[in-house]
Chains A and B, each alone.
Chain A
Amino acid sequence: MILAWIILLLMGTGFLAWLTSRWSDILPRIISLAGTLLFLGVVLYLWFTHSASAVPSGNAAAGAWIIHYTHSWIPAFGIHIILAADGLSLLMLLLTAFLGVLSVLVSWKEIKTRVGFFHFNLLFILAGITGVFVSLDLFLFYFSWEVMLIPMYFLISIWGYENRTYAAGKFFLFTQASGLLMFLSILGLYFVHGRSTGVYTFDYEALKGTVLSQPTAFLLMLGFAAAFLVKLSTVPFHSWLPDAHTQAPTAGSVLLAGLLLKTGAYGIIRFVLPLFPQASQQFAPAAMILGVISILYGAKLAYAQTDLKRLVAYISVSHMGFILLGIYAFNQIAMQGVIMQMVAHAISTGGLFIIVGALHARIQTREIGQMGGLWTQVPKMGAMGLLFVLASLGLPGLGNFIAEILILTGSFMASKILTIIAAVGFIAATLYSLRIMQKVFYGTVLKKWEITDFGFREMIVMGSLAIVIIWLGLFPNSILNATQQMVQGIVQQVNITVNGPQNANTLQNASR
């Protein structure tokens, strides 16, 4: 029930923010901040009360939900409102709430027009994302999946930069088209399950046991994978991402990079692997190759960009490649790395987007060629920039390092060649990351800008991000422990279905 209340809280706050914008511009901001802070508080409470029970207990039974809520919705089709959370969902909710608060804060000065409607959209995106992370009914999941698109479309197309119409339309068409393919797959699964058991339902737990013939399973799996790979901006389907990220307002970029991309990874872990374990095994080589291509291609394009925001966007493409590689390695180490990467990437890229947004607000350009030697002017911004650039190139001690090392260690067991090629991505990451520092903050002063450094509000935002990224680097166990049970369950399930229990055990032992 608490999960339903969280979603209603976000929607209600959104409506309230919109209504109050009639009277003042500051009211919607305060209301949204209060709403998201309350959201964060509730999720933190859940995290601390439940993470203790999520500690691995040896017997990893997948489906041990911490919170579970069921309510009938459309009984004629067996559609229920099933909201549930395990360690992974809670972690994602925590991330959602944290970035939600930050995105309200970073929009404080940046958004000056239609403030009420902006916050309405912002909170509806958060509500949709929350729905995605906790829905266990496939129909409800698709419903939430779509709900987060419309407000994001508005966010980009109203408050975006110069080329916003094009970017918003592209974003919408890509995600909508792939989402509908997933919907067809959901319906296909629904009917196959209904025909074989006589029970027509969209319940995830029930559908998980559906017996599928191999070609059917593969086709249905592809429908799901289409939606998630597009969201994850895997290389052949990535072209919406640089446009959408570049044109979106800062809060939009933070949410896109931090949360929307993660829904793709979450979808694969939560739905594709458990629902189609065998088909996923078949798909794994292709997916891992796509992942490696994304890593290298994203890095190459990032290095070639002259638009700072576009550069950061391509970093996302590269980092998402690691996620794909890790998921399809099918072992616990890589999967833990993936979850770590989801969080670390959200924080580091979010930080970079906020810095770019702040720079853009001050000098009205995103062209790297126009910047240079800014450190002396804005030392605080420069220091923060250095921290997040180092994070995204994978410096030990920061979150991304842990994530990428875990992923590569795990994927090495699955495919040595691909892992070796993927490791080249580290070098590329160093190149594009240091280029940011070199061209923007160090180097010769190309143009004399009169700009102010980070203020108090911005330092709170950046400071909290900095604390989290360092925390992730130093104490990764706090996250790894919470999700270990869930990860173990899924990895075991995939391997058991394919190799039989014996093999899975050896793999498990190997990964320990």
Chain B
Amino acid sequence: MITGPDIRSLLPIEILAGGMVITMLGVALKRNPTLTFICTLITLAASFLSVLFIWPAKPHAIGDLFLVDRFGCYFQALVLLSAFVVTLFSQISLKNFFPGKRKEEYYLLLLLATLGGATMVISTHFISFFIGLEILNISLYTLISYYRERPKAIEAGLKYLILAAMSSAFLLFGMALVYALTGTLSFQGLAATTFRHDSVSLTILITGIGLMITGMGFKLALVPFHMWAPDIYEGASSPISAFIATVSKGAMLAVLLRFFATADLFGFKKLMLVFTVIAILSMLGGNLLALRQNNIKRMLAYSSIAHFGYVLVAFIAGTGLGTQAASFYLTAYIITILAAFSLITLMSRSDNEATDIEDYAGLFWKKPVLATLLSITLLSLAGIPLTAGFMGKFYLLTSGVGKGNWLLAFTLVISSVIGLYYYLRFIFAMMRTDGQNFPIDSRPSYSSLTGLLVLSLLGAAVIWLGVYPAWLIRLVGSLT
């Protein structure tokens, strides 16, 4: 029976869903991309405000399906903020690449995908989690290949479709195994029954969860489930790549954290060993593969593999400091990567996206503001002081060293030194002069002043978090 408090707690999701229906009706009445764009922004903003409005003092469970607590609400807020920024830059990107028709559906799909993500982060049951995931996935198939005239869009969409479908299959099979053993689909129920098994059922349980890890690892693009990432990042438009890197991965990480905490799985040595191996492979693999990339989107894809490997260091550290560190790092990463992809959108011209390293040559002398912002972003990804990335990495290392995971801490350190190389490569490309003296573009061709403003805000947030992170540390500390 749904009660009043339940409805209140689900307000953000209801607003998203309702806003989407209204927007869709609006599109049916009159096709107007600007109107749809504004409706989308209003829906997202209203949903975000409602998260602040319902900010729960104590967790509120809705059946077995959802748990609306601070942790869930925090991630909902992150998802909605990211979606908001992505929408803003989508408009710029659509205007550039898609001057013709068919713009409205894009926003609807974006809202739908956001709804999926926002559902995932508060789910405590395999069914609600899976429905949220599929809503997200199916919208993404379309969004990735939305610019179908572009050469690599269809290829990327199909690739994502096949691999995501397969990973969903793994996930479902894993869930089925767990269900067969425990007779329950809720995370909580799993915790209650976990330790009452003999070694045979324990093997089945671990197999089931192992299969689920495969499915989740795919969504997070962890090595060895990472092959899709660079192609999809490259094929999709920059805002959609940003969406995958933030909303899709962020929501999945939230589910992972909640699943392991609620089902109390941190005690399983074997599973933690699996994660340790995955983390080490991701950190080293992602950074090594990124070394020779000349395409900035592929580079960011590989670097995001490495970054989620870093986050696993905090994840393995378990509840408490580990969860806080993961939440902090994810926040820092989301802000940074949003800035990076927004920048690519702003840099792009109507005929192609600015993805090659050559497009950035001498940027410091041509567009100093954009170049400075991109440098801040890259330095934050590299984890250099004065940026959010440094504080995030400090948090991760603290959680890792605090649990005595020296191997992971060392790998993190070594791989971030490797990572420095390719971030510096791009920064250096921006400083190149090629012997010619570039005149400063006094009349900037920024396609949108709003875009530049939002980008500057993101850049300022990166610096602010790097210099004064105390408030966010307090906030993520109050989540669990």
Which A residues form the contact surface with B (CB < 8 A)? 73-77, 113-114, 117, 139, 142-143, 146-147, 149-150, 153-154, 157-158, 165, 168-169, 172-173, 176-177, 180-181, 183-184, 187-188, 190-191
Nearest 8 pairs of A and B residues by beta carbon: A180-B413, A146-B385, A187-B401, A177-B417, A76-B473, A143-B385, A74-B470, A158-B431
User: Smallest Cβ distance from A142 to chain B, in angstroms?
Assistant: 8
Rounded to whole angstroms, the CA-CA distance of A181 and B416 in the bound complex is: 12
In the complex, 13 of the A-B residue pairs with CB atoms within 8 angstroms, ordered by the A residue number, are A73-B468, A76-B470, A76-B474, A142-B385, A158-B431, A169-B424, A172-B424, A176-B417, A181-B413, A184-B409, A184-B410, A187-B398, A190-B398
**Contacting residue for B420 out of A73, A76, A173, CB 8 A:** A173
Rounded to whole angstroms, the CA-CA distance of A173 and B402 in the bound complex is: 26
B431 near A180: Cβ-Cβ < 8 Å? no
A74 near B421: Cβ-Cβ < 8 Å? no
**Residue on B nearest A22 in the bound complex, by CB:** B440
**Residue on B nearest A124 in the bound complex, by CB:** B386
CB-contacts of B400-442 with A (<8 A)? 401-402, 409-410, 413-414, 416-417, 420-421, 424, 428, 431, 433, 437
**Residue on B nearest A117 in the bound complex, by CB:** B364
A74 near B428: Cβ-Cβ < 8 Å? no
Rounded to whole angstroms, the CA-CA distance of A117 and B431 in the bound complex is: 11
Rounded to whole angstroms, the CA-CA distance of A342 and B470 in the bound complex is: 37
**Contacting residue for B401 out of A146, A180, A191, CB 8 A:** A191
Whether B26 sits at the interface, judged by CB under 8 Å, is no
Rounded to whole angstroms, the CA-CA distance of A117 and B372 in the bound complex is: 11
User: Smallest Cβ distance from B298 to chain A, in angstroms?
Assistant: 21
A165 near B428: Cβ-Cβ < 8 Å? yes
Once A150-B384, A153-B424, A172-B424 are accepted as A-B contacts, the answer to whether A76 and B477 lie under 8 Å apart by CB is yes
User: Smallest Cβ distance from B463 to chain A, in angstroms?
Assistant: 13
User: Smallest Cβ distance from A205 to chain B, in angstroms?
Assistant: 21
A77 near B421: Cβ-Cβ < 8 Å? no
Whether B379 sits at the interface, judged by CB under 8 Å, is yes
B428 near A147: Cβ-Cβ < 8 Å? no
User: Smallest Cβ distance from A184 to chain B, in angstroms?
Assistant: 6
Once A74-B473, A143-B385 are accepted as A-B contacts, the answer to whether A154 and B401 lie under 8 Å apart by CB is no
Specify which chain B residues have a CB less than 8 angstroms from the CB of A173 in the assembled complex.
417, 420-421
Whether B143 sits at the interface, judged by CB under 8 Å, is no
Specify which chain B residues have a CB less than 8 angstroms from the CB of A153 in the assembled complex.
424
**Residue on B nearest A73 in the bound complex, by CB:** B470
Q: A143-B385, A183-B397 are in contact. List 20 more A-B contacts (CB 8 A).
A: A74-B469, A76-B473, A77-B473, A117-B364, A146-B390, A147-B385, A150-B384, A153-B424, A154-B431, A157-B431, A169-B424, A172-B424, A173-B417, A176-B420, A184-B397, A184-B409, A187-B397, A188-B401, A191-B401, A191-B402
Once A75-B470, A180-B413 are accepted as A-B contacts, the answer to whether A169 and B421 lie under 8 Å apart by CB is yes
A157 near B477: Cβ-Cβ < 8 Å? no
Once A74-B469, A184-B409 are accepted as A-B contacts, the answer to whether A147 and B417 lie under 8 Å apart by CB is no
Rounded to whole angstroms, the CA-CA distance of A184 and B397 in the bound complex is: 8
Identify the interface centre among A75, A113, A180, A191: most chain B CB within 10 Å of its CB: A180
Rounded to whole angstroms, the CA-CA distance of A143 and B466 in the bound complex is: 10
Specify which chain A residues have a CB less than 8 angstroms from the CB of B414 in the assembled complex.
177
User: Smallest Cβ distance from A36 to chain B, in angstroms?
Assistant: 21
User: Smallest Cβ distance from A112 to chain B, in angstroms?
Assistant: 11
B420 near A77: Cβ-Cβ < 8 Å? no
A77 near B398: Cβ-Cβ < 8 Å? yes
User: Smallest Cβ distance from B322 to chain A, in angstroms?
Assistant: 14
